[in-house]
Amino acid sequence: MRKTGPHLTHTIIVHSTSISSRRHLTHHSYTPAKSVCTARRVMASTHYNPQLGATLKNERYTLLRKLGEGITAVSWLVRDSTATGSTKKYFAAKILSAEATAEPNGPAREREFLQSINDYADKVDDDEGLGYLPALFDSFNEGPHLCLILSLYSTSVSALRRSAPTKCLPVYMVRSIIYMTLHALGVLHNLEIVHTDVKLDNILFSNDRFFLDANLDKYLQQYPVQLSNPEPQPIPHSWTYDTSAFEAEKMTVSLIDYGHAEWSEGTPLGENFCPLSLRPPEVLLSSGFGTAIDIWSVGCLTFELLVGRWLFHPEDGGDDWTIEEDHLAKMQELTGQRFSADVLVRAKKGAEYFDSQGALVRIPELIPVSIEQAMQNYNISGLAEEDIKESADFIRACLQLDHTKRPTAGELLKHSFAMKAWNS
């Protein structure tokens, strides 16, 4: 029995003559990829594992505490011993694993993309999007590990969303977060950079609470580092899931992590871009590559922030259908669109899934449900009908199945949903 999108939960629909019979999908949240355990074992064996108080770059940077860790890198709070006067002395050091550093065309390319952002910032000082992007202050190798000295940030939008009882955020907060993310993408896309991994874990709150080093000095004294087997201790911010609209106007976020980024021109070096739930049709079908990949992610994340659930949660049907086929079906069901002949002609994998009439071979029957209906089903408190209509229209614009027809980040900033940021 095939499950459709996140709409109309617990409703049973039976079609006795069709293998695409299914019940509707129940509530879901993020789940780790199946390969995480194996990947973490590799990560642990090749990560840089210093003692607290160790130094980098000839004793210039002192490691004070672990901020976070991932598959390819660990981030540390560091103090710059050369800082004097009003010069900033606290930074984040992103130290890549030996494996990630050595991998050809791998995560170490992040330095290349960050430098491109820096070069642009040196030439232009009035682009709002630069305020929502990280700055690279230094880079060097510590043995087999690439070290990137970056702006210091707090925790992620994902962490804030998960802290809410309903796992969603108020519409005024979502508008502002999406507005800033679009501005960041506008800069990246103008630089011909495709992020490819726009997700809530990669949107961090700025370190406004400790903008002054003296304030961070006091915090570090009050909350000392864990000395034995230190777990990540990120720098906190002042926001909560129910921060008022007035206070939320002070929020600033930045789009980080360029370890999977690609240049929009030329042949991309990777393949399976984006987490599965955020993966656009052109990646599934191999029908093209470009900045529109990031726009699709923005649409999915807008729904997730407002509703607290994935927009797409494709599932494997075993012998009946693949997870990719289910994903492609749900894309059509929720957007009300069909894949055009032009898209399928461009798609290298089109014949694997579609017949000559443009229908999915193994899921011929679709059950359209509008994005508005999907949002209404969750009865989110504070999300008015007008908000649902406006945000659904914005999401639908991001989710054009033909990536060549998706609006740019700049065009989306002119949508009424984004234009109401800080004016809720």
Which strand ranges, in their side-by-side order, compose the sheet holding 90-96? 55-56, 61-69, 73-80, 90-96, 145-150, 136-142
**pLDDT, average across residues 351-358:** 93
Does 9 score more than 50 pLDDT? no
User: What tokens does 401 get?
Assistant: 């199945």
Determine the pLDDT at residue 211: 87
Phi then psi for 109, rounded to 5 degrees? -65, -10
| pLDDT classification of 37: cutoffs 50, 70, 90 | very low
Rounded distance, CA 302 to CA 204, Å? 16
What is the CA angle 189-288-196, rounded to 5? 45
Q: Is the residue at 336 inside a domain?
A: no
What is the CA angle 352-354-357, rounded to 5? 150
Does 26 score more than 80 pLDDT? no
Rounded distance, CA 252 to CA 342, Å? 40
Phi then psi for 333, rounded to 5 degrees? -65, -40
Of the two residues 249 and 104, the one the predictor is more confident about is: 249
Rounded distance, CA 122 to CA 135, Å? 11
Residue of 178, 253, 128 lying closest to 418 (CA atoms)? 178
Determine the pLDDT at residue 285: 95
Determine the pLDDT at residue 5: 53
Q: Is the residue at 130 inside a domain?
A: yes
Determine the pLDDT at residue 379: 87
Q: Is the residue at 187 inside a domain?
A: yes
Q: Is the residue at 250 inside a domain?
A: yes
CATH for 79: 1.10.510.10
Of the two residues 43 and 148, the one the predictor is more confident about is: 148
Give strand ranges (E) for 191-245.
193-194, 203-206
Q: Is the residue at 15 inside a domain?
A: no
| pLDDT classification of 91: cutoffs 50, 70, 90 | very high
Residue of 233, 240, 251 lying closest to 162 (CA atoms)? 240
Show the domain range for 41.
31-309+378-419
Lowest-pLDDT range, 137-141, 365-369, 402-406? 365-369
**pLDDT, average across residues 385-413:** 97
Please, which residues have CB within 8 angstroms of residue 235's CB and are 6 or more apart in sequence?
67, 77, 152, 153, 154, 155, 207, 209, 210, 216, 219
DSSP letter assigned to residue 84: -
Q: Is the residue at 209 inside a domain?
A: yes
pLDDT digits (tens, 9 = 90+) for 157-171: 999 999 999 999 999
Determine the pLDDT at residue 105: 86
Determine the pLDDT at residue 152: 96
Q: What's the pTM?
A: 0.90
Number of domains in the chain: 1
| pLDDT classification of 254: cutoffs 50, 70, 90 | very high
Does 22 score more than 70 pLDDT? no
Q: Is the residue at 364 inside a domain?
A: no
Q: Is the residue at 327 inside a domain?
A: no
